[in-house]
Amino acid sequence: ETMKQMREQVKDLEQRKQRLVERAGGSDSGGLSDSIALMPSKVASPQSQEARSPTLPTSSYPSAVAPVKRDNFVQLTSEIEEFRRQNAIMINHLRERDLLTSYMQNLLMEFSKDKSDGDNNNSSGSGSDSSKDKNKYKQPLGSGPRPFNRDSSVRFTPLTREEGMACVQQTLQLINSARILYASDAHFQNRSKFLGWSQYTLRQGSTISFAVKKKLNNVTPQQLMATTWRILTDSKNVKKLISATVDTHIRPLQKLSDDLLVIDRRSEDSAHPGVGGKTLALRTVYVLFRVADADGGQTLAMKTINLPLVKKMMREDEMWCDIFYWLHFSRSGEVTSAGGNEQARDTAAVVEFGGSNTYTRDEIASVWLRELMFLAIRWETLAVAPTLLKQ
């Protein structure tokens, strides 16, 4: 409100200044015309001067326009410049306040109950309510090396809860549409499997779409969700999901709830050159969330947020990428008995991993398309193997 009032005052002062300038110009032209009109009278004969009726000098008549004083003009100009200077100072204060707010949120999330040096492989329980209550330590986000410096920081405006929930709903709709598409696609159904994973991949220019699916025995959707969430919120484990040539770091920007986060990610690919011959660095800011479905399944997704300001503030060696990954865990419809005993039944879960990513260059999309199947295999090694070893 104060900024609005100041802008109105500056605008009013500029209008007054313009009117004074116009009046000053009119007075000068009027004085010039009067002097021109009086010139013939100066050269006229004495007889003509005697014949004329006596008149007072023109300058003695009151002017229709008040004369402009130089002091007033200078004062108004100084006031306008002062308002502009104060306006610039207030804008800088607002920017500093927003930056400080974002910085403090990062500090609170990174250092409150910080256990980044702890063991990431602590037992997470079987997914029951009692185990969840006992394991409330919540491995902090962004643990491990953080290469982000002042130059790589993002000026992120925190999302409101309404904006976060709207993003979740939109992403869930995209996931449902993708699952329906892959389930009804004959090409997807007839593809050969790779290490038990059925696969569907498609590249259109710099955009890749994919989906893989596999049935896993002796695990539940809740167990898979617990281990996967712990992996994707820990920088050390995220590195294990991706190729050894790619150095990936994540950093939390905002925590809307225990199940909805905003994360900043930077990946450096030493195997491919980036801008100006430097190491290729991909940057993105995405939401990470998990939800429980009504049918007992579990859905996890990460999707890039459209942030034009963040894109403009990236470093010269960074390139923006839009990512969209989703995982859906559901119970298998096939339940087998163990040793003929109907009461002892083996549990099984079906895993669906899909998404659609857009990169700035076609060759980068080709590289990540080849990497997707290995990404699923690495996830299976990290998320499923520890669970089976505990049984």
Write out pLDDT tens, residues 98-111: 767 766 665 665 55
Report the pLDDT value the prediction gives residue 283, as an integer from 0 to 100.
86
Among 162-166, 257-261, 381-385, where is mean pLDDT lowest?
381-385
Mean pLDDT computed over 295-320? 81
Report the pLDDT value the prediction gives residue 132, as an integer from 0 to 100.
42
Report the pLDDT value the prediction gives residue 58, as an integer from 0 to 100.
45
User: In this predicted model, which residue has the larger pLDDT, 14 or 168?
Assistant: 168
Report the pLDDT value the prediction gives residue 35, as an integer from 0 to 100.
44
- Could you tell me which residues come within 8 angstroms of residue 261 by beta carbon, excluding any fewer than 6 positions away? 141, 233, 252, 254, 255, 287, 288, 289
Which pLDDT band, with edges at 50, 70 and 90, does 269 fall under?
confident
Mean pLDDT computed over 142-162? 58
Alpha carbon 301 to its chain centroid, in Å, reads 16
Mean pLDDT computed over 298-305? 93
Q: Tell whether the model's pLDDT for residue 274 goes beyond 90.
A: no
Report the pLDDT value the prediction gives residue 61, as an integer from 0 to 100.
39
User: In this predicted model, which residue has the larger pLDDT, 208 or 26?
Assistant: 208
Report the pLDDT value the prediction gives residue 126, as an integer from 0 to 100.
39
Nearest to 290 by CA among 232, 237, 216: 232
| Most confident region among 164-173, 190-199, 231-240 by mean pLDDT | 164-173
Question: 10 Å Cβ neighbour count for 205?
Answer: 10
pLDDT, tens digit, for every residue of 108-137? 655 554 443 333 333 333 344 444 444 444
Which pLDDT band, with edges at 50, 70 and 90, does 19 fall under?
confident
Burial class (CB in 10 A: 0-12, 13-18, 19+), 288: buried
pLDDT, tens digit, for every residue of 38-84? 444 443 444 444 444 444 444 443 444 555 577 888 888 888 888 88
- Could you tell me which residues come within 8 angstroms of residue 98 by beta carbon, excluding any fewer than 6 positions away? 155, 157
Instruction: Give the β-pairing of 318-320 and 279-292.
Output: parallel
Among 78-92, 141-155, 328-342, where is mean pLDDT lowest?
141-155
Nearest to 115 by CA among 137, 98, 133: 137
User: In this predicted model, which residue has the larger pLDDT, 52 or 194?
Assistant: 194
pLDDT, tens digit, for every residue of 255-264? 999 999 999 9
Residue type, 280: L
Among 98-107, 138-147, 164-173, 323-332, where is mean pLDDT lowest?
138-147
Report the pLDDT value the prediction gives residue 68, as an integer from 0 to 100.
58
Q: Tell whether the model's pLDDT for residue 344 goes beyond 70.
A: no
CATH of 163-334+344-390, one of 3.40.50.150, 3.30.530.20, 3.40.50.2300, 3.40.50.620: 3.30.530.20
Report the pLDDT value the prediction gives residue 309, as an integer from 0 to 100.
67
Which pLDDT band, with edges at 50, 70 and 90, does 165 fall under?
very high
